[in-house]
Structure 1
Amino acid sequence: MTAAPTSRIPPLVLVAGPEGVLADRALRSTIAEIKGLHPDLETVPLQGAAYEGGELPMHASPSLFGNAKAIVVRDLDEATDALQTDLLTHLGTTPPDDVWLIVTHKSGNRGKKVLDTLKKSGARVIDCPAIKSDADKASFVTNEFRTARRKATPDAVRALVEAVGKDVRELEAACSQLVQDTTGTIDEGVVSTYYAGRVEATGFRVADAAIAGNAAESLRLLRHAIAGGDNPVPIVAVLAMKLRQLVKVGSAGRGPSGQLAGSLGMAPWQVDKARRELSGWDGEALGRCIQAVAQADYDVKGGGRDPVYAVERAILTIARERHGGR
């Protein structure tokens, strides 16, 4: 017979939130924790949208061989009615000591009654909030290196987010690769060695050059990005985001960047960078640039004939305004 679960591992676990990387980690760590007590643990996967009635009670029934079980119900937010009914029935009974129920739920109202019942029943709740903003991604990268007991400079974190920050899973893989393949402090030079081509062609570098008033370099980087298969739409989105950051930081007044970052939805290094970039800008010029980028956004999404030309025109406007409209 298997041993009864300890109080450290409650029989009910809820992994809630849309960030898949965090949810997968929560599942792995929870199952590993149970396996630490029950090496013979049997893991039973059930998929919310494909569930057929009766599967859960069948798997939750005591095993003839006495093996511990972890029943993993993925995507409660896509659950069939049958699954929700079976879950509520399961939660209304006392399960065997060697059965754990682990449920994931990304977002939305579907399955809400089950969610509420799980929480009222004392489930361990592991939150997996979305990692969307650059500030969130920078925090994620910093924590990845800290967990691996590696030092990384703020510039390295920034460069990595700019290079591969579109996809959190790719960002996770990049952190893992740098930890495994390098030694010592991870700085911007190390990141550039591994991701130089991607960093140079990214919309962030296009935007940085334009905001610095370097039209020629910005256009070169744009053409390189387009030649590499990048779409004009996200490049325009980066231009708009960079301009909004300048406006937000310019309006925020003085104060430590660490204190301002949270209220602005930015990372401290982004606040510091925006402050440096604000030299030579005024509110009216930024306003005209925002209008130009809004027009480019309309054009690249079908309103204009030539999306690439629309981005080039916006870049030229930004660079010109940086030089006082000349």
Structure 2
Amino acid sequence: MTSVPPLVLIAGPEQVLAERAVESTLALIREVDAGAEVVRLDGPAYEPGALALHTSPSLFGGTTVVVVRDLDEGTDDLLEEVVALAADPPMDAHVVLVHKGGNRGKRALDALKKAKARVIEAPAVKSDRDKGTFVTGEFRVARRRIAPDAVHALLEAVGKDLRELAAACAQLIADTTGTVEVETVERYYGGRVEATGFRVADAAVAGNASEALRLLRHALSGGLDPVPVVAVLASQLRQVARVAAAGRGSSASLAKELGMAPWQIDRARRAAAGWDGIRLGRAIQAVAAADFEVKGGGRDPVYAVERAVLTICRERQG
């Protein structure tokens, strides 16, 4: 007998996690019935009666799995039928419902939870700390390890999209052996112009003007827009300021308090050693001015970001 109950609710906005939850649920059902039929329904295009039709006992036997996507955008008919289904769950079928969040469909959600549906969370993965945990988890599931600084490098190289991050983890796991170190990540992804933007910020905050300008010009010639470079500069300086103001404490405790990853705390602490509050404030003001200019307030965005980088370096050295 399958361990999957008749009703499964996957709740949360992170689509990568929701899709994985659907596939893992289907895999569990197929362990018991390899020939289980899967029917997929879209909430916004739902036709009345479809749930009852597909969850009714079949004359030919076998298991039917109905996957309902976008319950939060579902029609009124769908939401009413889910409430009715929760009151009388199917005997020979499974219904997997995906709800991205929000208030729409709350009555249906409450009915599913009251009916003891299995609830699988798909929470948003937004902060660098959460993304670092995601990367580490990807390697742990594959019984592999990735070094903390390699996690940092991968986040900076691949960017914000969780789907791209998952694909990068899968590639590194498939193509390498042993512990993935930062050199491996650099070899695979270090050439991306997105990654260069973070290296520009690292060099500028460290006061290395020649390296910061070299990296900046390389990134801009490779097609990187000045706007995200300025955004990274601002983010790096803000992190230094926040960590410096937070005072002492372990990296783990400060990471939790500030909503950052432990490696970000360590990096910001190293950088903060060369700054004081006055010079850090002037650097942040310079980046704010550059942000205005690269977003249409000035005539030359490239000159604006170069000037901001040189100002940061000068303040760091002073």
Instruction: Name the TM tier (shorter chain).
Output: over 0.9
Give the 3 Å change call, closer, same or farther, for CA 182–149 of structure 1 in structure 2: same
Matched, 1:109 2:114: no
Query: Does structure 2 conserve the Cα–Cα contact (< 8 Å) formed by 1:152 and 1:185?
Result: yes
Please name the residue that 1:122 is paired with. Answer: 116
Give per-residue Cα distances to partners, 1:8-33, cap 9 Å, x unaligned. 31111111111111111111111101
Counterparts of residues 1-326 of structure 1 (less than 5 Å): 5-6=1-2, 8-95=3-90, 97-198=91-192, 201-324=195-318
Give per-residue Cα distances to partners, 1:55-82, cap 9 Å, x unaligned. 2221122112112111111111221222
CA distance in 2, matches of 1:41, 1:129: 28
How far did residue 199 of structure 1 move? 6.7
- TM-score when normalising by structure 1: 0.93
Query: Does structure 2 conserve the Cα–Cα contact (< 8 Å) formed by 1:134 and 1:267?
Result: yes
User: What letter corresponds to residue 72 of structure 2 in structure 1?
Assistant: D
Identity of counterpart residues, as a percentage?
Answer: 63
- TM-score when normalising by structure 2: 0.95
Alignment gaps of 5+ in structure 2: none
CA distance in 2, matches of 1:109, 1:14: 15
CA distance in 1, matches of 2:242, 2:157: 24
CA distance in 2, matches of 1:39, 1:200: 44
CA RMSD of aligned residues (A): 1.6
How far did residue 296 of structure 1 move? 2.0
CA distance in 2, matches of 1:123, 1:58: 20
Moved over 3 A (4+): none
Query: Does structure 2 conserve the Cα–Cα contact (< 8 Å) formed by 1:13 and 1:125?
Result: yes
CA distance in 1, matches of 2:178, 2:107: 50
Query: Does structure 2 conserve the Cα–Cα contact (< 8 Å) formed by 1:15 and 1:105?
Result: yes
Give the 3 Å change call, closer, same or farther, for CA 200–115 of structure 1 in structure 2: closer
Give per-residue Cα distances to partners, 1:187-218, cap 9 Å, x unaligned. 01111111120278532111101101122322
CA distance in 2, matches of 1:116, 1:303: 50
Give per-residue Cα distances to partners, 1:99-146, cap 9 Å, x unaligned. 111111112212121111111111111111111111111111111111
Give the 3 Å change call, closer, same or farther, for CA 284–223 of structure 1 in structure 2: same
Query: Does structure 1 conserve the Cα–Cα contact (< 8 Å) formed by 2:190 and 2:196?
Result: no
Give per-residue Cα distances to partners, 1:266-318, cap 9 Å, x unaligned. 11111111111112201111112222222222222222222222222221221
Give per-residue Cα distances to partners, 1:227-266, cap 9 Å, x unaligned. 2222222222211111111011101111221221111111
Secondary structure of 2:191's aligned partner = helix
CA distance in 2, matches of 1:201, 1:36: 42
CA distance in 2, matches of 1:90, 1:17: 21
